[in-house]
Structure 1
Amino acid sequence: MQIKNAVALVTGANGGIGQYYVEALLTAGASRIYAGARNPKSLDAIAATDPQRIIPISLDIIDEKSVIAAAAKCSDVNLLINNAGIGLLKGFISATDLTSARSEMEVNYFGTLNMCRAFAPVLQANGGGAIVNMLSILAKVNLPMNASYCASKAAALLMTQGIRAELAAQGTLVIGVMPGTVDTEASKHFPPPKVAPEIVAQTALQAVIDEIEDVYPGEQAMQMAAQLLQDPKALEKAMAAMLPN
């Protein structure tokens, strides 16, 4: 699949990595980009960069009615980028209750699943296309200071694999993007190394072109992926030192 002339939808397009996906799609020549956010007004600045190609839409991925409405409105999409997500920096036991864990699962797992289910027939009607799910290398190893986030991304990783299997027959490529720490406002308190969000977006789009199903943007993610193959227990123990406050 080529990005040039593609019609894409980016969830969580109003901040973090989302705006960089929109910019990367513009640069790569996408013909139309639906930029989704719960508050479309938050997309005014990025939409103004190319109002002919960037179309803001109201989209709350945990609201099934909102997702179904988006699928009806964006019926020409052949590239779905599930970027919306949250991380609340909570442990499993140290958290005061399950509110944060439920919220992360609701957005990162069920919200992404909502989008995949709603847009699978849209992609099929448009020739198959591709789904890009923004995950994390923490889908494969737990960071205790952000423990329940890791669990939600692990669930999303297995969901990505299952959806990949189910949609193979309709020709839909399903990609899991697993960066390490991304240099955004949300990670400002995390130590380096960090990967630039524009690199994450560019790497993910290149994976669509090259049909690479699992991609690890940045040096940190690639090193951790290698460690998980060589000595996963050693990496688990190293991460275990980073406990929640």
Structure 2
Amino acid sequence: MQIENSTVLITGANRGIGLAFAKAFLVRGAKKVYAGSRDPSKMNLAGVTPIKLEVNSSADVQAAAQLAQDVTIVVNNAGIANFGSFMAEDAEAMLRNHLETNVLGPLRISRAFAPVLAQNGGGALINVASIASWITSPKLANYAVSKSALWSLSNGLRNDLRGQGTQVLTLHMGFVDTDLTKGIDMPKSTPEAIVERTLQALEAGAHEVLADEMTQQVKASLSAEQAVYLAAR
């Protein structure tokens, strides 16, 4: 997928990885970047077109798809990550919230924009998953379920959209230095490094990008006798 002269829509574009995506697409020559946010008044990046977009609102999603009929690349970046194990008192509500935003949100966006991508030649869909697609911990248990589901959703969407020529690229990465990871004391990549590897993979026509060394090691270990996802954390 060629980025130069593309038209991009990014969900959750006001901060973190989403903001890094917006900046990187502009640098690489995207013709237009729609920056989706719950509050577009907070988007102050020069060169982008702010758009009101709460991924849990079907009305917002449909309005965005009607407005942005020129889109050729969609980045499903918006998501939540809250701490809590399955034994927590509010575990059921927490899991429901994660699934609503991290799985159903990308599904709503993908369904709404699939016809737009088709009419514009196929284009590409980037789904921001995680190393947590394959490993979990008590602190991030609910988040991990949602990212595992997003991985499966991405694989399903790739099959559904193959016929219209849409490239579906799933991004997996470990901890990234954003607001979402402030309370986690672990080595972290920069958003810029993750985005750069993702856009390289996009232009190379890839279906999956393992954007840091830890994620590459985890994915490689999945078929090992002592699979990494079985280890206590």
TM-score by length of 1: 0.91
After superposition, give the CA deviation of every residue in 1:135-169 in whole Å (9 maximum; x if it has no partner).
00111122221001100111111110001001001
Structure 1 CA distance for aligned equivalents of residues 183 and 108 of structure 2:
31
The answer to whether the aligner puts 1:110 opposite 2:104 as a matched pair is yes
- Partners of 1:179 and 1:79 lie apart in 2 by 20
Summarize the alignment of residues 215-230 of structure 1 with structure 2, pairs less than 5 Å apart.
215-230=209-224
Corresponding position of 1:80: 74
Residue 21 (structure 2) aligns with: 21
CA distance in 1, matches of 2:222, 2:184: 21
What secondary structure is seen at the aligned counterpart in 1 of 2:14?
Answer: coil
C-alpha distance in 2 between matches for 1:97 and 1:143: 14
| Partner secondary structure for residue 98 of structure 1 | helix
Give the distance between the partners of 1:230 and 1:18, measured in 2 at CA: 34
1:106 positional shift: 0.2
Q: 1:15 & 1:95 partners in 2: Cα distance? A: 30
- The answer for the alignment partner of 1:11 in structure 2 is 11
Match of 2:40 in 1: 40
Match of 1:235 in 2: 228
In structure 1, the residue matched to 2:92 is 98
Q: Does 1:132 align with 2:126?
A: yes
Which moved further from structure 2: 67-76 or 195-204?
195-204
Aligned to 2:54: 60
Contact 2:10 2:77 in 1 (8 A): yes
Checking the alignment, whether the CA contact within 8 Å between 1:195 and 1:219 is kept in structure 2 is no
Moved segments of 4+, more than 3 Å: none
Aligned to 1:144: 138
Alpha-carbon distance in structure 1 between the residues aligned to 2:91 and 2:172: 28
Equivalent position SS for 1:182 = coil
Gap change, CA 1:58 and 1:179, over 3 Å in 2: same
Matched AA of 1:7: T
Secondary structure of 2:173 counterpart: coil
Q: Distance in 2 between matches of 1:214 and 1:26?
A: 22
**RMSD, aligned CA:** 1.3
Sequence identity percentage: 38
User: Where do 5+ consecutive residues of structure 1 fail to align?
Assistant: none
CA–CA distance in 1 between the matches of 2:166 and 2:119? Answer: 11
Task: Quote how far apart the aligned CAs of 1:98 are.
Answer: 1.8
Q: Is the CA contact (8 Å cut-off) linking 2:134 and 2:229 kept in structure 1?
A: no
Following the alignment from structure 1 to structure 2, what is the Cα–Cα distance between the partners of residues 230 and 35? 41
- The whole-number CA distance in structure 2 between the counterparts of 1:33 and 1:127 is 18
Q: Which amino acid aligns with 2:71?
A: V
Aligned in 2, Cα 1:235/1:97: closer, same or farther, shift over 3 Å?
closer
2:182 alignment partner in structure 1: 188
Residue 234 (structure 1) shift = 4.2
1-side partners of 2:92 and 2:150: how far apart? 19
AA at the equivalent of 1:124: A
Matched residue pairs, number? 233
